Amino acid sequence: MELRASLNHLNVTTPDPAAMAAFYCSTYGMTQASAGDAIVCTGPGRVVALTRGPANKLAYAHYTFNDTPAWLAFRDRVPGAAQIDVPALARPAPDAVAIKDPDGNVIVFSPPDIASDVEVRADDMPQAILQHFALRTTQPQAMLAFYQSLGFVLSDEVHDPTGAVRACFLRTEHLHHSLALFGAPAAGFDHQSFETDTWADMRVWGDRMAELRVPIVWGIGRHGPGNDVFFMVRDPDGNLAEISAEIEVCESERPAGVWVHEERTLNLWGKAIMRD
Ligand SMILES: [Fe+2]
C-alpha cells in the first residue's frame, strides 16, 4: 500500500536565488514572491522555493498527505526520535514533521488540511504539475532502504552487472515515482519534473523553451522505468528541470521491476545522462 502522499514543493539552495527565480519564472510560467529567506516561484500546480546556499543541493522536499487516515498511519510509523526540527517552510503547513535521510536531505511531511492562501496566477500554458524529483547519492542501497522504511514503494530499480543498485524509482501514490535516486560520485539534487497531460502539451512547452532560447539538453525521449516521455533543460546552477507526460499509473500490488544499468534504460529512444 502506498503512503498516499504527493509532492507539495521543493526548496533548492543556490548561490544566486534571483537568477534562479528569474529562470523558473520565465521557463515554467511562474510568478515570484519573497517568503522569509526564500524566493518562492508559484504557478498552477507547481511551486519552487529558492534559498541562498550551495548549488545543486536540496534545502528540503515537502510532501502533503492526501487523506487523514494515511497521515495518521504515517505518524505512527515514524517515531518522534527520528524527527528533526521542521525548517522554515515557503508555504505554511501546521503540524508538519521533518526527517533527514542518510545523505542529510530534509524531507517534510504534512497532513492534508494544509492552510494555503497563495494566489496562483492562471496562465495560458498547458498543465505542468510538480510531480517528482530526483537525488544523486553515493549510497543508493542505503537511501533506498531508508525511504522504504518510511513507506515509499519501490516501482523499479536499476542494477549493475554485480547486482548492486545504481538507481531506483519510488512511489508515494499511484504514479510510478515521486522520488528517483541515482548513484553518482557525489550526493546532491538532480532534477524536478513537471507533468503535463498530453504529447501536444510537450510540444507547447518545447516551443516555449525555444522562444526563450533555453536549449533542451536531454530528450525528447522516453524513460524505461516510468515509461514517461520527457525532455530536460538546465537551470542556471546546472540542475536539470524536466517536462514529462504519460508517466505510468501503478496498481498497488505491482511487483517491483529490475532494469539493466545502460543508456537504453534511462532513455528507450537513445542517449542518456548516466550520472556516473
Ligand atoms: Fe524525472
Tens-digit pLDDT profile for residues 251-273: 999 999 999 999 999 999 999 99
**Per CATH, the architecture of 129-266 is what?**
Roll (3.10)
177 sits in the region (left: phi over 0; alpha: psi -120 to 50; else beta) called beta
Give distance in angstroms: CA of 204 to centre of ligand 1.
19
In tens, the pLDDT along 201-214 reads 999 999 999 999 99
Q: Does the fold of domain 129-266 match that of domain 5-110? A: yes
Per the prediction, the chain carries an average pLDDT of 94
Task: Among 3.10.180.10, 3.40.50.1970, 3.20.20.70, 3.30.70.270, name the CATH number for the domain at 5-110.
Answer: 3.10.180.10
The pLDDT of residue 82:
84
Give distance in angstroms: CA of 234 to centre of ligand 1.
13
Closest CA relative to residue 88, chosen from 31, 35, 12:
35
Give distance in angstroms: CA of 80 to centre of ligand 1.
32
Q: Does the pTM of the predicted model rise above 0.85?
A: yes
CB 47 within 8 A of CB 129: no
pLDDT higher than threshold 70 for residue 90: yes
In tens, the pLDDT along 94-131 reads 999 999 999 999 999 999 975 555 556 667 899 999 99
The pLDDT of residue 91:
87
Whole-angstrom distance, CA of residue 82 vs CA of residue 59:
18
> CB neighbours of 75 closer than 8 A, spacing ≥ 6?
97
pLDDT higher than threshold 90 for residue 1: no
Query: Domain map of the chain by residue range?
Result: 5-110, 129-266
What cell numbers appear for 22 in the block? 528569474
Give distance in angstroms: CA of 192 to centre of ligand 1.
6
Give distance in angstroms: CA of 191 to centre of ligand 1.
7
